[in-house]
Structure 1
């Protein structure tokens, strides 16, 4: 696997006259670049490290092993990317930044080959951003939506109250987060996002020590990702992936106990695509990738992708 760090520059229409620098890592398999790249979009209070958990839990390594290129992106205001004023970093500005990144992946740029196909793989808020982007711009070839449903679970209302200023956090304070950048209170990640029997203390520690930020602007615009019109406008194949022990989503008419329940419930939202599938990961909560069972969804997702958007497309 070859990896290079790349910077991408986007011009958000929400902040006229400005340019934001986004940091990413491009991973390529050996040999000629493949036809398809996976764009990885982390969720709220995460950065690209979510996709590179230790050992077999490293999604990036798995995807490259299946022959795909991977761009693991730090979304605006997270990780090593630029941290604009918090009020400018909203769900909508994330969507437009991701759209410009997709355009670069299709055209190519210095250090980045041009790809025929782009697949977005999101987690939680990252999944919502990918959905809106796909609905609005119709420039993705498939979506893998993890940790996101249109039904909220019993812990969802506790997620935002679990946040506090990142500048007060012992781990993040040295990075000088701007005003109204938030992160999870110490220990709250475990309570909200983990299933302890499905992970050891070393994974919980990794999870806590790789936390990132969310802005007040994102928090105030989260509802946009649940608009039924968004999922209805998606025209490409969609795979939904949920942890069986996720308590942020599910409840009421849908249970995350089995894929059939997820598919039955969500099908009424994804009316614009005839190719919708679901997968439930055992012994995993909301933050799927830090649980020991995560590789099972990596394998199944790549079997699903291979039948729709393979890493290399046969030439005529």
Structure 2
């Protein structure tokens, strides 16, 4: 007797990790502001992974051009997860409205509303899992700490921290006042060491975009504001850093330091990605990183379903 004949749920067969095409572009309008994203749907998804890119990039960060094996969208869909990579407020279709988006509360509302519009009528499985990188973590922790965040399956944060790397700070001071050198030096820190990335992705030029004005302000206040924001998050948290992270302080102590902030979370897990730099989703180890995160998402799905099965009406 087959599982289907026995009345057991059978998930749709998955595609190869490198199969399928790139994400499908989406644009919706929220309160007069267009919001864009890239979507890769799975049939009968176990959950939806909502991915928020970092600074000076776009949703393409999660769907590496011409590098299907590095794509979170393709890996997620292949394993039964719908992946929605949102262009954060001030990026993509909303870039022309960046000056109107200085309010953090407005950005949170805009993101939630855009996601609801984009997923309307689409199956979500056990729910939505939120994933973010670098500057995108600012929006993610605000969304997860909002009252609407209690419905999230969980949260993944990567490429962020409380204390910047000492070497990066020394170099940054050396470049102060020399705009061109500072810009190129920052790119070298964020995209180094070069051997960790495919040659055509080093520097991130294929996924780059202008950062909205509010992002510089948020970057300065982030290390001070993170503890208070983290303490409000009530869902499972997974935190990742590359072992070659060059912008944020890395290592076991840094991982433990961040983990200690999520005092309201029922589960906090940390991971140091071998062979990973700052931009984990575009490096040679991107697939390994994505599989680690998707494994955590699966655990959150199982926990949600187990909790639901245990409820008494």
Structure showing the higher helix proportion among its residues:
2
The answer for the alignment partner of 1:220 in structure 2 is 217
Query: Do the aligned residues in 2 keep the contact of 1:90 with 1:221 (CA within 8 Å)?
Result: no
The answer for the alignment partner of 2:89 in structure 1 is 76
The answer for the alignment partner of 1:152 in structure 2 is 164
User: Residues 96-124 of structure 1: CA distance to partner in whole angstroms, max 9, x if unpaired?
Assistant: 22222344467x25xx4566511111011
The answer for the alignment partner of 2:133 in structure 1 is 123
1:265 corresponds, among 238, 249, 257, to 257
Is residue 254 of structure 2 the alignment partner of residue 244 of structure 1? no
TM-score by length of 1: 0.77
Compared with structure 1, are the counterparts of its residues 224 and 151 closer, same or farther at alpha carbon in structure 2 (3 Å cutoff)? closer
User: Within 1, Cα distance between the matches of 2:184 and 2:222?
Assistant: 28
Larger of the two Rg values belongs to structure: 2
Q: CA-atom RMSD, angstroms?
A: 3.2
Query: Do the aligned residues in 2 keep the contact of 1:187 with 1:208 (CA within 8 Å)?
Result: no
2:146 corresponds, among 136, 143, 146, to 136
Is residue 214 of structure 2 the alignment partner of residue 209 of structure 1? no
Give 3-state SS (helix, strand or coil) of 2:113's partner. Answer: helix
TM-score by length of 2: 0.77
The answer for the alignment partner of 2:49 in structure 1 is 38
Compared with structure 1, are the counterparts of its residues 312 and 135 closer, same or farther at alpha carbon in structure 2 (3 Å cutoff)? closer
Query: Do the aligned residues in 1 keep the contact of 2:236 with 2:266 (CA within 8 Å)?
Result: yes
Unaligned runs of 5+ in 2: 1-19
Give, in angstroms, the shift of residue 161 of structure 1. Answer: 6.9
Give, in angstroms, the shift of residue 147 of structure 1. Answer: 0.8
Give 3-state SS (helix, strand or coil) of 1:273's partner. Answer: coil
The answer for the alignment partner of 1:8 in structure 2 is 28
User: Residues 11-68 of structure 1: CA distance to partner in whole angstroms, max 9, x if unpaired?
Assistant: 3xxxxxxx21101122112x3x425211110011010010012131111111111100
User: Within 1, Cα distance between the matches of 2:184 and 2:164?
Assistant: 24
Give 3-state SS (helix, strand or coil) of 1:220's partner. Answer: helix
The answer for the alignment partner of 2:229 in structure 1 is 230
Compared with structure 1, are the counterparts of its residues 62 and 311 closer, same or farther at alpha carbon in structure 2 (3 Å cutoff)? farther
Give, in angstroms, the shift of residue 190 of structure 1. Answer: 3.1
The answer for the alignment partner of 1:192 in structure 2 is 190
Compared with structure 1, are the counterparts of its residues 300 and 249 closer, same or farther at alpha carbon in structure 2 (3 Å cutoff)? same
Compared with structure 1, are the counterparts of its residues 161 and 60 closer, same or farther at alpha carbon in structure 2 (3 Å cutoff)? farther
Number of residue pairs aligned between Structure 1 and Structure 2? 278
The answer for the alignment partner of 1:178 in structure 2 is none
